[in-house]
Amino acid sequence: IASRDAVIDEEHGIWARIFLPTDQVQGKGEGDSPKLPVVLFFHGGGFVTLSADFFIFHVLCSSIAEKLGALVIGVNYRLAPENRLPAAYEDGFAALKWLADEQGGRRDPWLASHADLSKILVMGDSAGGNLAHHVTVRAAVEDLGEMRIMGQVLIQPFFGGIARFPSETKPQPPNSTLTTDLSDQLWELALPIGASRDHPYCHVVAPDLKAQLREIEALPKALVVAGSEDVLCDRVVEFAEVMRECGKDLELLVVENAGHAFYIVPESE
């Protein structure tokens, strides 16, 4: 897998790391390179920490590119508390528009040569899963030209709320990568000042949002992944159930005995 960085928005410091499976183009002449599906990936970190070039996400995106035979774009967005939500959502959608824009995304030679914009998958883990959801909802009501989002993958998306769920109150192992207390602290730093955890950025299945989801007909099918030992498990399951109630095509995968970020921190409980 080859990788290179590209600037999305210099003013706001938004950039991306692009991953290209080199065996897909080996031996092809100029102008004869195959077009690849595109994965737009948003990293986790509670909206407060980590980055697209952090080594665990570099390895993860490389693996996704290799296994899917796709061009993967890992987006580096602004973080809280210096840039509270919705800054990350705005950056995520800016990345999508950059990819769709003839004068933006396609200026990058790798995207111009290899990106099939009719086959876009929006993916994210933890806070990136939350971000991917909000970006996809907005994209469903925006004009993206010839770009087509064919699906979304939300891996242990970072959702919350004031009322506690059983997975948030049960005893949590000392080596958990995410606890209820830490989740609360991250939301306090990420949400707009004065907002509670029932804000729709966090509590995404609030009644008014349910009505909005029912009105959106163009949401792509989704794969939602939860870990049975993750503090977020019940939140993720609730989200999947509400999406299904709203008539959305969604598959829920609950990985047994898996804690938060099990796919990059194998020793997590």
For the chain, give the percent of residues with pLDDT over 90. Answer: 77
Residues identified as active-site: 126, 230, 260
pLDDT of 210 strictly over 80: no
As a whole number of angstroms, the distance between CA 130 and CA 258 comes to 19
Can you list the domains of the chain with their CATH numbers?
2-255 (3.40.50.1820)
- Give the predicted TM-score (pTM) of the model: 0.94
pLDDT of 80 strictly over 80: yes
From 232, 255, 256, 217, select the one nearest 129 (Cα to Cα): 232
pLDDT of residue 64: 97
pLDDT level of residue 25 (50, 70, 90 thresholds): low
pLDDT of 103 strictly over 70: no
pLDDT of residue 235: 97
pLDDT of 265 strictly over 90: no
pLDDT of residue 134: 95
Give the number of other Cβ atoms within 10 Å of residue 64's Cβ. Answer: 21
Give the number of other Cβ atoms within 10 Å of residue 214's Cβ. Answer: 12
Instruction: Give just the sign of the alpha carbon dihedral 68, 28, 148, 264.
Output: positive
pLDDT level of residue 269 (50, 70, 90 thresholds): very low
Beta strands in the chain (DSSP E): 2-9, 14-20, 36-42, 71-76, 115-125, 149-155, 221-227, 250-255
From 149, 147, 14, select the one nearest 75 (Cα to Cα): 14
pLDDT of 92 strictly over 90: yes
pLDDT of 27 strictly over 60: no
pLDDT of 200 strictly over 70: yes
pLDDT of residue 106: 66
Q: What is the pLDDT of residues 153-168, one digit of tens each?
A: 999 999 999 999 999 9
Q: What is the pLDDT of residues 31-78, one digit of tens each?
A: 566 799 999 999 999 999 999 999 999 999 999 999 999 999 999 999
From 213, 180, 207, select the one nearest 46 (Cα to Cα): 180
pLDDT of 29 strictly over 50: no
Answer for the pair 115, 71: CB distance below 8 angstroms, yes or no. yes
What value does the mean pLDDT take over residues 124-146?
94
